[in-house]
């Protein structure tokens, strides 16, 4: 009898075998109507070393690598719905942008940009991506779904990013800076005002496409100072839950908080979001798309946080909140050993995954933040043991700090073959 993993393997094997995988991750993992592409460094595929030259050359190589993966599975760059751009120096953004626009001659995907403390191999730039997958994965029949790219005048415009790109049952919202839509300038005030503006901009994007705020399933907050999180949380609580129905069940989306070394325009905070899209995108049939339920679930076997749900499922995906290496018996970060901290993070993710009837091999993407990028080899020594059959797509960055002095943090995206049921 075929398992959920067997179905995914039969769908993915055609392209996984065509691309060269690095030891600790798979370049591209598809499930249902999305492909998750691992972070691409500016590595020349033939030599396996970083490309020589300036930041433009490195950015171009990252994009060529993404394009090579995309084309190897029968897609084009216009099928991308989101790109995340990690820079060693935010001052390089203009140079990167001059290259970036050449790869998207028609419609821009959504985009998130941040500077980080370090990147693997000492690279100056790294990019990952999310790709629409109109043919779906077996046993879904190929379906020419429409990708809906939309922007609102009520939220800030970026010539290199679309505000919202929907495909199938998800919307991906480009990172929102604390910009006043009317002036295009940073909002006046401090961190609270900036946080409120980010969330107001997300809300404006959603209202423009007639989607309620409580359809958000995952939020990622990027802060230049983690000490600002308490003030951001004060504002965050005023936005979630947003409706009477959500308040009745105390619904909160999954969440990750990431330390950025710098953000565009000198902002102190930036947020992006993943949105459930119950209406789907055409030509999905009415009976396939309406009233799917968001399933938010927690387990006592992993740490709980006041402003985040551990796992939020919608349609064919589960989004798992950022996990720190918290010792469940003490409520504090485990020892200083990065191997033990890595195992603790993965144990929490495994507990969440198993609490909802899944296995670790159902994970399609993992995001890792390290306080010291030099710890990556030690992390990999533990990491690969948690994925016995195949390795998910992955993004790794170095950050300037992590909460509670942790050395590592992880979040994940998981396939959800049973989907979520319609509201009865």
- Residues 286 and 296 occupy one common structural domain: no
Q: Please say which residue of 255, 290, 325 terminates a domain.
A: 290
Residues 115 and 136 in one domain: yes
Q: Please report the pLDDT score of residue 23 as a whole number.
A: 60
Q: Which two tokens stand for residue 262?
A: 């710098």
Whether 282 and 302 share a structural domain: no
Q: Give me the pLDDT at residue 13, please.
A: 34
CA–CA separation, 116 and 263 (whole Å)? 9
Residues 159, 278, single domain; the answer is yes
Domain boundary among 259, 290, 321: 290
Q: Are residues 185 and 94 in the same domain?
A: no
- The one-digit pLDDT tens for each residue of the chain (424 residues) are 233 343 333 333 333 333 333 469 999 999 999 999 999 999 999 999 999 889 999 999 999 999 999 999 999 999 999 999 999 999 999 999 999 999 999 889 999 999 999 999 999 999 999 999 989 998 887 878 999 999 999 999 999 999 999 999 999 999 999 999 999 999 999 999 999 999 999 999 999 999 999 999 999 999 999 999 999 999 999 999 999 999 999 999 999 999 999 999 999 999 999 999 888 898 876 545 456 889 999 999 999 999 999 999 999 999 999 999 999 999 999 888 999 999 999 999 999 999 999 999 999 999 999 999 999 999 999 999 999 888 999 999 999 999 999 999 999 999 999 999 875 4
Which structural domain range is residue 57 located in? 1-140
Structure tokens at 133: 């997958």
The angle formed by the CA atoms of residues 27, 261 and 213, to the nearest 5 degrees, is: 70
Phi, psi at 388, each rounded to 5°: -70, -25
User: Based on the domain organization, do 220 and 345 belong to the same domain?
Assistant: no
* Judgement on whether residues 298 and 258 belong to the same structural domain of the protein: no
Contact 39, 367 (CB under 8 A): no
Pull the structure tokens for residue 78.
């216009």
Q: For position 223, which CATH number holds?
A: 3.30.1330.40
Q: Which residue has the tokens 């080899």?
A: 377
Looking at the 3D structure of the chain, how many domains does it have?
3
Q: Residue 5 burial by CB count (10 A; 0-12/13-18/19+): exposed, middle or buried?
A: middle
Phi, psi of 267 (to 5 degrees): -65, 155
Listed as own residue / partner, the contacts of 372-377 with beta carbons closer than 8 Å and 24 or more positions apart are 372/118, 372/338, 372/398, 372/407, 373/117, 373/118, 373/119, 373/120, 373/397, 373/398, 375/338, 375/407, 375/408, 376/120
Nearest alpha-carbon partner for 221 in 182, 251, 178, 158: 178
Alpha carbons 169 and 80: distance in angstroms, whole number: 15
> CA-to-CA distance for 85 and 126, rounded, in angstroms?
6
Q: What is the pLDDT of residue 63?
A: 98
Given 92, 112, 140, the domain boundary residue is 140
pLDDT of residue 19: 33
Same domain, 201 and 171: yes
pLDDT for 15 equals 30
| 174-205: burial string, b at 16+ Cβ within 10 Å, e else | bbbbbbebeeeebbeeebebbbbbbbbbbbbb
Locus of tokens 């000490």? 227
Same domain, 327 and 376: yes
């Amino acid at each position: 009898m075929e398992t959920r993993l067997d179905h995914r393997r039969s769908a993915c094997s055609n392209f996984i075998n065509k691309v060269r995988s690095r030891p600790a991750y798979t370049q591209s993992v598809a499930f249902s109507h999305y492909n998750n592409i691992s972070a691409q460094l500016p590595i020349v595929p033939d030599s396996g070393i970083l490309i020589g030259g300036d930041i433009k050359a490195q950015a171009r190589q990252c994009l060529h690598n993404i394009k090579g993966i995309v084309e190897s599975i029968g897609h084009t760059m216009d099928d991308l719905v989101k790109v995340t751009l990690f820079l060693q120096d935010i001052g390089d953004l203009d140079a990167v942008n001059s290259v970036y626009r050449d790869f998207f001659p028609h419609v821009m995907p959504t985009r998130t940009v941040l500077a980080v403390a370090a990147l693997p191999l000492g690279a100056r730039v790294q990019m990952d991506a999310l790709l629409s997958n109109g043919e779906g994965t077996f046993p879904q029949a190929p379906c020419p779904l429409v990708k809906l790219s939309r922007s609102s005048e009520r939220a800030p415009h970026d010539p290199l990013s679309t505000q919202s790109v929907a495909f199938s049952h998800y919307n991906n919202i480009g990172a929102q800076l604390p910009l006043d839509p009317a002036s295009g300038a940073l909002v006046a005030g401090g961190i609270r005002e900036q946080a409120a503006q980010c969330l107001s901009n997300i809300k404006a994007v959603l209202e423009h496409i007639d989607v309620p705020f409580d359809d958000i399933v995952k939020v990622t907050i990027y802060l230049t100072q983690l000490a600002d999180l308490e003030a951001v949380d004060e504002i965050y609580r005023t936005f979630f839950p947003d409706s009477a129905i959500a308040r009745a069940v105390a619904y909160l989306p999954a969440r990750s908080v990431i330390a950025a070394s710098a953000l565009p325009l000198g902002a102190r905070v930036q947020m992006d979001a993943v949105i459930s899209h119950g209406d789907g995108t055409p030509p999905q049939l009415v009976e396939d798309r309406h009233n799917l339920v968001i399933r938010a679930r927690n387990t006592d076997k992993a740490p709980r946080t006041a402003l985040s749900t551990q796992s939020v499922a919608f349609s064919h995906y589960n989004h798992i909140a950022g996990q720190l290496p918290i010792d469940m018996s003490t409520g504090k970060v485990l020892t200083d050993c990065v191997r033990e901290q890595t195992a603790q993070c993965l144990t929490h993710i495994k507990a969440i995954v198993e609490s909802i009837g899944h296995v670790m091999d159902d994970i399609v993407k993992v995001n890792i933040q390290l306080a010291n990028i030099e710890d990556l080899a030690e992390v990999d020594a533990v990491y690969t043991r948690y994925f016995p059959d195949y390795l998910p797509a992955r993004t790794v960055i170095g950050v300037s700090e992590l909460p509670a002095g942790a050395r590592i943090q992880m979040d994940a995206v998981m396939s959800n073959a049973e989907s979520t049921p319609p509201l009865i």
